[in-house]
């Protein structure tokens, strides 16, 4: 069980760019959160701070009772795993199994545990068949699943996925949804950054909307996509399901396909 507490955090990159300003967020163990918002809002910076890759310029981040400023990135990533937006920024072995084994091995798991975690993660992410391949010879979508497997194999309590649906076809999306279900069963905390609103509404409960280095809203899905002011401010487009529900003059709060179908069949009955 690892809670995250981000307290009044600001972050400036070495060139002076202020990417995050007075950012506050508390995440309880087991939550499923999507962070959304315009390009450059500070989403990736925020999650890199949660996993200790970056350290706050001001304020503090507590991962459980560990202040990220007092621990190395390797120590924090035992609790918070981060799957990079671009797999090529993460992969550094020329063989998939070595890539996936690296994390659990370095975390001090014994050989048997490393084998078990590596096999489980490679299987779940569908990359076992590519075992002996050099990851760089594989398509982008598969490379992304290699990086997801590498993070899952570390068995951290919190898993952060940066744009996991980017470049995925139907098969990839189905695999991703299956992975999310398995993580939910294991009561892992899942945080995703995404521009894919269908993905947000179907699989996440709590939405954090960012704009201009700050959080502008932190709420449930239905509260966000029916709030015109928030949509304008954060330049978000509501999911197709919500647009259709509005066109059909159905009740507010419809964000998933199941809700849309239920509302239409209710209307037909009337």
Ligand X SMILES: Nc1ncnc2c1ncn2[C@@H]1O[C@H](COP(=O)(O)OP(=O)(O)OP(=O)(O)O)[C@@H](O)[C@H]1O
* Residue among 2, 34, 43, 149 that touches ligand X (CB under 6 A): 43
- Nearest distance from C-beta of residue 16 to ligand X, angstroms: 8
User: Does residue 135 touch ligand X according to CB under 6 A?
Assistant: no
| Sole window of 9-17, 91-99, 144-152, 237-245 interacting with ligand X (rule: CB under 6 A) | 9-17
Could you tell me the smallest distance in angstroms from the CB atom of residue 33 to ligand X?
15
Stretch of 14-22, 73-81, 92-100, 171-179 contacting ligand X, by CB under 6 A: 14-22
22-41 binders of ligand X (CB under 6 A): 39-41
Q: Is 13 in the site for ligand X (CB under 6 A)?
A: yes
What minimum distance in Å lies between the beta carbon of 217 and ligand X? Answer: 15
Report the residue from 17, 110, 137, 212 that binds ligand X according to the rule CB under 6 A: 17
* Using rule CB under 6 A, residue 242 touches ligand X: no
Please, what is the minimum distance in Å from the beta carbon of residue 101 to ligand X? 29
Nearer to ligand X, 103 or 239 (CB): 239
If binding is defined by CB under 6 A, does position 165 make contact with ligand X? no
Residues 6+ apart with CB under 8 A from 235: 38, 211
Q: Which C-beta is closer to ligand X: that of 55 or that of 78?
A: 55
Q: Are 21 and 213 in contact (CB under 8 A)?
A: yes
| DSSP classification of residue 52 | T
CA dihedral over 198, 200, 204, 207, signed as positive or negative: negative
> Using the rule CB under 6 A, is 42 a contact of ligand X?
yes
**Which of 1, 15, 65, 247 touches ligand X (CB under 6 A)?**
15
SS3 242: helix
Considering only residues 174 to 213 of the shown chain, the ones binding ligand X according to CB under 6 A are none
- Name the one residue in this structure whose structure tokens are 């269908």: 198
Measuring CA to CA, how many Å separate 145 from each of 45, 156, 175, 179, 248?
A: 22, 17, 9, 10, 38
Q: 225 in helix, strand or coil?
A: coil
Residues near 93 by beta carbon (within 8 Å), at least 6 away in sequence: 99, 102, 135
Cα separation, 71 vs 176, whole angstroms:
31
Sheet strand arrangement including 18-27? 18-27, 4-12, 58-63, 66-67
The binder of ligand X chosen from 27, 33, 44, 143 (CB under 6 A): 44
Least distance from C-beta 256 to ligand X, angstroms? 24
Which residues touch 40 (CB under 8 Å, ≥6 apart)?
A: none
Instruction: Single out the residue of 2, 45, 150, 168 in contact with ligand X (rule: CB under 6 A).
Output: 45
- How many Å apart are CA 91 and CA 96, to the nearest integer? 9
Question: Which stretch, 10-18, 125-133, 173-181, 227-235, contacts ligand X (CB under 6 A)?
Answer: 10-18
| Binding positions for ligand X, rule: CB under 6 A | 13, 15, 17, 19, 39-45
């Amino acid at each position: 069980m690892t809670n995250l507490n981000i307290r009044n955090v600001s972050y400036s990159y070495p060139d002076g760019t202020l990417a995050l300003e007075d950012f506050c967020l508390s995440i309880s163990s087991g939550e499923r959160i999507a962070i959304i918002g315009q390009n450059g809002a500070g989403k990736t910076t925020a999650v890199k701070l949660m996993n200790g890759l970056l350290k706050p310029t001001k304020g503090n981040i507590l991962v459980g009772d560990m202040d990220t400023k007092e621990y190395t990135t390797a120590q924090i990533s035992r609790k918070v795993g981060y799957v990079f937006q671009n797999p090529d920024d993460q992969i550094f072995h020329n063989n998939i199994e070595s890539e996936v084994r690296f994390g659990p091995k370095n975390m001090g798991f014994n050989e048997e545990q490393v084998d078990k975690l590596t096999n489980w993660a490679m299987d779940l992410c569908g990359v076992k068949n590519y075992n002996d391949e050099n990851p760089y010879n594989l398509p982008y979508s598969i490379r992304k699943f290699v990086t997801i497997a590498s993070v899952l194999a570390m068995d951290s309590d919190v898993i952060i996925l940066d744009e996991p649906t980017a470049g995925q076809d139907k098969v990839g999306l189905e695999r991703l949804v299956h992975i999310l279900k398995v993580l939910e069963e294991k009561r892992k905390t899942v945080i995703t950054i995404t521009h894919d609103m269908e993905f947000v509404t179907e699989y996440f409960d709590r939405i954090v909307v960012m704009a201009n280095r700050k959080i502008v809203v932190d709420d449930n899905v239905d509260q966000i996509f029916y709030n015109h002011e928030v949509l304008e401010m954060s330049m978000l487009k509501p999911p197709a399901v919500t647009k259709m529900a509005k066109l059909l003059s159905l009740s507010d709060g419809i964000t998933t396909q199941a809700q849309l179908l239920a509302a239409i069949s209710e209307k037909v009955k009337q």
